[in-house]
Structure 1
Amino acid sequence: MVRSTRIWAALTLLGTTIGVAAVPADAAPAATAQTTVCPTGWGSLPKTRSAATSHPVTNIRAGRHTCYDRMVIDVPGATAGRLGYSVRYVDRLYQDGSGRVLPVAGGAVIEVRVTAPAYDPATGAAVYPGRPGRPLPGVDLTGYRAFRDTRFAGSFEGDTQIGLGVRARLPFRVLRVDGHVVVDVAHTWTGKP
């Protein structure tokens, strides 16, 4: 009996260490359901990549996932290596060019800058329909766990600036893939959904 208790304790510790719950063989079927382990370690410090593209931003959209909320900035035609960004928490969102403070709802504000214009560089005509100081067109944040508000700050000298209001200062990551800059904001700091 002592030996089986020690083995059970060791299996439980091993399961906890690798993020999987150890379940005794005679447990009820409901207890064997897999739990989602969310990524951790993203942190909340600024994240930047230097690069620039003349391909314009055409769309900004959001999505909900089990562990995080996601914002995607579409820059068709731009390769990942040519997509630069600066993503950081700010006390206030200041609009480039004017310096005007743009209110963004939420417990914390993330400033997202993408080094791509929201206008056609050849003609100056707007490509993305966002209006400075207004919520992002077509982005409905109903039911989101981390996101609270969005604001289009504008596009100035080839950079597009967005305010993202979140529930609190949460960990985030930034990914670049061809034609897209992706900002994921975790629902929690704990690694649990």
Structure 2
Amino acid sequence: MRSFRKTWVAVAVTAALAVPVLPAATASGATAQTTACPTGWGSLAEVRATSTAKPVTNIRTGRHACYDRMVVDVPGAGRSALGYSVRYVKELRQDGSGRLIPVAGGAVLEVRAAAPAYDPATGLPTYPGRVNRPLPGVDLTGYRTFRDTRFAGSFEGETLVGLGVRARLPFRVLVLTDRIVLDVAHNWTGAR
């Protein structure tokens, strides 16, 4: 009888250890998920030396679990022609005039798209930004990293934007079809 009990206990323990541990259910019944934030981004300048005559038509932002995102839309540019320069600067200066454009935040990213914000054939604006003003339609309420945006103009085929962030944080730049994507992490460690 004793041998039978030992065998039964061994089977029960083995069965218990074989059951996978699932994430805890939330009050709504959904399981909690852990987001692994990307790491390995840096804060040094990123440059892609190509350009397009296709104009910028929109600049938008979004919030994500691990980073805040800015997207510069350049319809019709494809992927291979989109160029950019993104770097931290002490202050944002307008191209051509050198005029200082104040940007709120603990650090300032100079975001330069190698595309005009006007139609090269007519000179008419394709993006409604006004120099030294926040980006139209962008509301940064509730963002963890972004603090301010400023349109710095479009000069000689390049569009310049100032992005105020909480502190000098790591970022990455991606080029997708018809858009430049800038992600700025919430912190250096990858923790949420």
TM-score normalised by length of structure 2: 0.84
Residues 26 and 119 of structure 1: CA distance in aligned 2, closer, same or farther (over 3 Å) = closer
The answer on 1:29 being equivalent to 2:24 is: yes
SS in 1 for 2:80: helix
User: Is residue 140 from structure 1 mapped to residue 156 from structure 2 by the alignment?
Assistant: no
Q: Residue 186 of structure 2 corresponds to which residue in structure 1?
A: 187
Classify 1:27/1:71 alpha carbon distance in 2 versus 1 (closer, same or farther; 3 Å).
Answer: closer
Match of 2:60 in 1: 61
Cα offsets for 1:128-169 (capped at 9, x unmatched): 000000000000000000000000000000000000000000
Displacement of 1:66 in angstroms is 0.4
Max radius of gyration: which structure?
2
- Percent identity between matched residues is 71
Mapping for residues 59-138 of structure 1, pairs under 5 Å: 59-138=58-137
List runs of 5+ in structure 1 lacking aligned partners: 1-23
Residue in 2 that maps onto 1:155:
154
How many pairs does the alignment contain?
A: 170
C-alpha contact 1:83 1:176 (8 A) present in aligned 2: yes
**Aligned equivalents of 1:163, 1:149: Cα separation in 2:** 8
* Aligned 8 A contact 1:112 1:163 in 2: yes
Seen in structure 2, the aligned counterparts of structure 1 residues 26 and 139 have a Cα distance that, compared at 3 Å, is closer
Q: Which amino acid aligns with 2:63?
A: R
1:53–1:83: 8 Å Cα contact kept in structure 2?
Answer: yes
* Aligned-partner SS, 1:81: coil
Aligned equivalents of 2:89, 2:25: Cα separation in 1 = 44
Structure 2 counterpart of 1:48, one-letter code: V
Q: 1:98 to 1:34 in 2, by over 3 A?
A: same
**1:113 corresponds to which letter in structure 2?**
R
- Residues 1:171 and 2:170 are matched in the alignment: yes
Question: Using the alignment, how far apart are the partners of 2:61 and 2:191 within structure 1?
Answer: 21
Q: Residues 28, 80 of structure 1: CA spacing in aligned structure 2 closer, same or farther, 3 A cutoff? A: closer
SS of the residue 2:88 aligns to? strand
Contact 1:36/1:192 (CA < 8 Å) preserved in 2?
no
- RMSD, aligned α-carbons: 1.8
Distance 1:82 1:139 in 2: 26
SS of match in other structure, 1:29? coil
| Distance in 1 (alpha carbons) for counterparts of 2:73 and 2:90 | 26
CA distance in 2, matches of 1:143, 1:173: 21
- For residues 70 and 26 of structure 1, the distance between their equivalents in structure 2, rounded to whole angstroms, comes to 34
Q: Could you tell me the TM-score, scaled by structure 1's length?
A: 0.84
In structure 2, do the counterparts of structure 1 residues 106 and 122 end up closer, same or farther at CA, with 3 Å as the change threshold?
same
